[in-house]
Chain A
Amino acid sequence: GENVEQHPSTLSVQEGDSAVIKCTYSDSASNYFPWYKQELGKRPQLIIDIRSNVGEKKDQRIAVTLNKTAKHFSLHITETQPEDSAVYFCAASRGGATNKLIFGTGTLLAVQP
Protein backbone atom coordinates (compact mmCIF):
# COMPACT_ATOMS: atom_id res chain seq x y z
CA GLY A 1 0.00 0.00 0.00
CA GLU A 2 0.93 3.65 -0.03
CA ASN A 3 3.62 4.65 2.41
CA VAL A 4 5.35 7.89 3.39
CA GLU A 5 8.60 7.80 5.35
CA GLN A 6 9.74 10.88 7.24
CA HIS A 7 13.10 11.76 8.82
CA PRO A 8 14.29 12.75 11.30
CA SER A 9 11.81 11.92 14.04
CA THR A 10 13.23 14.66 16.27
CA LEU A 11 15.24 17.74 15.39
CA SER A 12 16.74 20.30 17.72
CA VAL A 13 18.18 23.54 16.35
CA GLN A 14 19.35 26.86 17.73
CA GLU A 15 17.20 29.90 17.09
CA GLY A 16 18.21 31.42 13.76
CA ASP A 17 19.51 28.18 12.29
CA SER A 18 17.87 26.30 9.42
CA ALA A 19 15.88 23.08 9.73
CA VAL A 20 15.31 20.46 7.05
CA ILE A 21 12.82 17.60 7.18
CA LYS A 22 12.79 14.93 4.50
CA CYS A 23 10.09 12.57 3.22
CA THR A 24 9.95 9.73 0.74
CA TYR A 25 6.74 8.38 -0.77
CA SER A 26 6.02 5.05 -2.41
CA ASP A 27 2.96 5.69 -4.61
CA SER A 28 4.13 6.90 -8.02
CA ALA A 29 0.64 8.27 -8.72
CA SER A 30 0.90 10.77 -5.85
CA ASN A 31 0.77 14.29 -7.19
CA TYR A 32 0.12 16.54 -4.22
CA PHE A 33 2.42 16.95 -1.22
CA PRO A 34 1.30 19.09 1.72
CA TRP A 35 3.02 19.83 5.01
CA TYR A 36 1.11 20.22 8.27
CA LYS A 37 2.23 21.78 11.52
CA GLN A 38 0.79 20.63 14.83
CA GLU A 39 1.49 22.75 17.87
CA LEU A 40 1.19 21.16 21.28
CA GLY A 41 -2.46 20.40 22.12
CA LYS A 42 -3.73 21.73 18.81
CA ARG A 43 -4.97 20.28 15.55
CA PRO A 44 -2.69 19.92 12.49
CA GLN A 45 -2.82 22.86 10.10
CA LEU A 46 -1.55 23.23 6.56
CA ILE A 47 1.55 25.42 6.24
CA ILE A 48 2.68 24.82 2.67
CA ASP A 49 2.04 22.40 -0.19
CA ILE A 50 3.42 21.56 -3.60
CA ARG A 51 2.00 19.93 -6.69
CA SER A 52 3.90 17.43 -8.81
CA ASN A 53 4.38 19.81 -11.73
CA VAL A 54 6.44 22.15 -9.55
CA GLY A 55 9.95 21.54 -8.24
CA GLU A 56 10.07 24.16 -5.51
CA LYS A 57 7.75 26.51 -3.67
CA LYS A 58 8.58 29.18 -1.13
CA ASP A 59 6.53 31.14 1.37
CA GLN A 60 8.56 33.58 3.48
CA ARG A 61 10.80 31.47 5.73
CA ILE A 62 9.50 28.08 4.61
CA ALA A 63 10.09 26.26 1.35
CA VAL A 64 9.33 22.85 -0.04
CA THR A 65 11.25 20.98 -2.74
CA LEU A 66 10.11 17.98 -4.74
CA ASN A 67 12.12 15.40 -6.67
CA LYS A 68 9.56 13.24 -8.47
CA THR A 69 12.16 10.94 -9.98
CA ALA A 70 13.52 10.00 -6.59
CA LYS A 71 10.10 10.33 -4.91
CA HIS A 72 11.55 12.67 -2.31
CA PHE A 73 10.26 15.96 -0.96
CA SER A 74 11.61 18.18 1.78
CA LEU A 75 10.59 21.05 4.05
CA HIS A 76 13.10 23.81 4.66
CA ILE A 77 12.68 26.37 7.44
CA THR A 78 15.16 29.23 7.56
CA GLU A 79 15.89 31.63 10.44
CA THR A 80 14.04 29.40 12.87
CA GLN A 81 12.18 30.98 15.78
CA PRO A 82 10.89 29.46 19.04
CA GLU A 83 7.33 29.59 17.67
CA ASP A 84 8.41 27.16 14.93
CA SER A 85 8.64 24.47 17.64
CA ALA A 86 5.98 21.87 16.81
CA VAL A 87 5.43 18.50 15.18
CA TYR A 88 5.59 18.63 11.39
CA PHE A 89 3.91 16.05 9.17
CA CYS A 90 4.45 15.49 5.49
CA ALA A 91 1.76 13.83 3.39
CA ALA A 92 1.14 12.55 -0.12
CA SER A 93 -2.09 12.33 -2.09
CA ARG A 94 -3.44 11.44 -5.52
CA GLY A 95 -6.39 13.79 -5.38
CA GLY A 96 -9.75 12.98 -6.94
CA ALA A 97 -12.66 10.96 -5.61
CA THR A 98 -10.47 8.78 -3.43
CA ASN A 99 -8.48 11.78 -2.28
CA LYS A 100 -6.88 10.48 0.88
CA LEU A 101 -3.85 11.86 2.61
CA ILE A 102 -1.17 9.42 3.69
CA PHE A 103 0.95 11.00 6.39
CA GLY A 104 4.51 10.50 7.47
CA THR A 105 5.37 9.66 11.06
CA GLY A 106 6.07 13.25 12.05
CA THR A 107 9.10 15.29 13.12
CA LEU A 108 9.27 16.99 16.49
CA LEU A 109 11.15 20.25 15.92
CA ALA A 110 12.53 22.04 18.95
CA VAL A 111 13.99 25.51 18.45
CA GLN A 112 16.25 26.46 21.34
CA PRO A 113 16.31 30.19 22.17
Chain B
Amino acid sequence: DVKVTQSSRYLVKRTGEKVFLECVQDMDHENMFWYRQDPGLGLRLIYFSYDVKMKEKGDIPEGYSVSREKKERFSLILESASTNQTSMYLCASIDQGLATEAFFGQGTRLTVV
Protein backbone atom coordinates (compact mmCIF):
# COMPACT_ATOMS: atom_id res chain seq x y z
CA ASP B 1 0.00 0.00 0.00
CA VAL B 2 1.53 3.30 -1.12
CA LYS B 3 2.03 5.88 1.54
CA VAL B 4 2.63 9.57 1.98
CA THR B 5 2.92 10.42 5.63
CA GLN B 6 2.92 13.83 7.24
CA SER B 7 4.53 14.19 10.64
CA SER B 8 1.60 15.86 12.42
CA ARG B 9 -2.16 15.85 11.98
CA TYR B 10 -2.73 18.91 14.15
CA LEU B 11 -0.28 21.61 15.15
CA VAL B 12 -0.67 24.81 17.20
CA LYS B 13 2.15 27.35 17.08
CA ARG B 14 2.69 30.88 18.27
CA THR B 15 3.21 33.89 16.02
CA GLY B 16 6.89 34.27 15.17
CA GLU B 17 7.82 30.64 15.79
CA LYS B 18 9.75 28.66 13.23
CA VAL B 19 7.62 25.73 12.11
CA PHE B 20 8.65 22.53 10.34
CA LEU B 21 6.16 20.33 8.51
CA GLU B 22 7.60 17.00 7.44
CA CYS B 23 6.47 14.68 4.67
CA VAL B 24 7.79 11.23 3.80
CA GLN B 25 6.85 9.01 0.84
CA ASP B 26 7.78 5.39 0.25
CA MET B 27 7.08 5.16 -3.50
CA ASP B 28 10.45 6.39 -4.80
CA HIS B 29 8.69 9.30 -6.52
CA GLU B 30 10.86 12.05 -7.93
CA ASN B 31 8.37 14.89 -7.51
CA MET B 32 6.96 16.13 -4.24
CA PHE B 33 4.66 19.06 -3.48
CA TRP B 34 3.35 21.19 -0.70
CA TYR B 35 -0.17 22.59 -1.10
CA ARG B 36 -2.19 24.80 1.12
CA GLN B 37 -5.96 24.17 1.29
CA ASP B 38 -8.34 26.95 2.28
CA PRO B 39 -12.14 27.02 1.83
CA GLY B 40 -13.11 28.46 -1.52
CA LEU B 41 -9.49 28.66 -2.70
CA GLY B 42 -8.85 25.01 -3.47
CA LEU B 43 -5.37 23.52 -3.40
CA ARG B 44 -2.75 26.18 -3.93
CA LEU B 45 0.80 25.14 -4.71
CA ILE B 46 3.42 26.54 -2.33
CA TYR B 47 6.58 24.76 -3.51
CA PHE B 48 7.49 21.65 -5.38
CA SER B 49 10.64 19.60 -5.82
CA TYR B 50 11.58 17.42 -8.80
CA ASP B 51 14.80 16.01 -7.40
CA VAL B 52 16.92 15.99 -4.28
CA LYS B 53 18.02 19.53 -3.43
CA MET B 54 15.98 20.88 -6.36
CA LYS B 55 12.97 23.10 -5.73
CA GLU B 56 10.72 25.51 -7.52
CA LYS B 57 8.31 28.11 -6.25
CA GLY B 58 4.64 27.53 -6.72
CA ASP B 59 1.89 30.13 -6.69
CA ILE B 60 2.16 31.25 -3.05
CA PRO B 61 5.76 30.80 -1.82
CA GLU B 62 5.95 33.95 0.28
CA GLY B 63 6.67 33.21 3.94
CA TYR B 64 7.65 29.60 3.22
CA SER B 65 10.79 27.68 2.34
CA VAL B 66 11.43 24.00 1.67
CA SER B 67 14.14 21.42 2.06
CA ARG B 68 14.71 18.15 0.23
CA GLU B 69 17.90 16.49 1.39
CA LYS B 70 16.70 12.94 0.66
CA LYS B 71 14.44 11.68 -2.10
CA GLU B 72 11.77 10.40 0.25
CA ARG B 73 11.51 13.47 2.49
CA PHE B 74 10.22 16.96 1.71
CA SER B 75 9.98 19.56 4.45
CA LEU B 76 8.01 22.79 4.52
CA ILE B 77 9.37 25.54 6.74
CA LEU B 78 7.57 28.59 8.03
CA GLU B 79 10.45 30.88 9.00
CA SER B 80 8.30 33.10 11.23
CA ALA B 81 4.74 31.86 11.54
CA SER B 82 1.94 34.37 11.16
CA THR B 83 -1.80 34.06 11.80
CA ASN B 84 -2.55 34.21 8.06
CA GLN B 85 -0.66 30.95 7.67
CA THR B 86 -3.32 29.14 9.69
CA SER B 87 -4.50 26.53 7.22
CA MET B 88 -4.57 22.89 6.14
CA TYR B 89 -1.29 21.81 4.54
CA LEU B 90 -1.17 18.84 2.19
CA CYS B 91 1.91 17.09 0.92
CA ALA B 92 1.78 15.03 -2.30
CA SER B 93 4.13 12.98 -4.41
CA ILE B 94 3.99 11.90 -8.04
CA ASP B 95 6.08 10.03 -10.54
CA GLN B 96 7.60 12.12 -13.34
CA GLY B 97 5.84 10.24 -16.11
CA LEU B 98 2.69 11.49 -17.80
CA ALA B 99 -0.69 10.40 -16.56
CA THR B 100 0.44 9.29 -13.15
CA GLU B 101 -1.54 9.52 -9.98
CA ALA B 102 -0.60 11.94 -7.21
CA PHE B 103 -0.72 10.54 -3.70
CA PHE B 104 -1.49 12.82 -0.81
CA GLY B 105 -0.61 12.81 2.84
CA GLN B 106 -3.34 13.00 5.45
CA GLY B 107 -2.85 16.73 5.92
CA THR B 108 -1.62 18.93 8.76
CA ARG B 109 -4.05 21.38 10.28
CA LEU B 110 -1.84 24.25 11.45
CA THR B 111 -3.18 26.93 13.75
CA VAL B 112 -1.02 29.98 14.46
CA VAL B 113 -2.09 31.93 17.54
Contact = CB atoms under 8 A, between A and B. Distances in A.
Contacts of B40: 9, 105-106
Nearest to A42: B106
A98 B98 CA distance: 10
Contacts, number: 74
Nearest to A93: B98
A100 interface: yes
Contact of A95 (B42, B59, B98, B101): B98
Interface string A60-98: 000000000000000000000000000001000101111
Contacts of B58: 100
- Report the contact-size class of chain A (Cβ under 8 Å from the partner): 20 to 34
A1 B99 contact: no
Given A96-B97, A105-B42, A106-B43, 13 more contacts: A6-B42, A31-B98, A42-B106, A44-B104, A45-B104, A95-B98, A95-B99, A99-B31, A100-B56, A101-B33, A101-B92, A101-B102, A102-B45
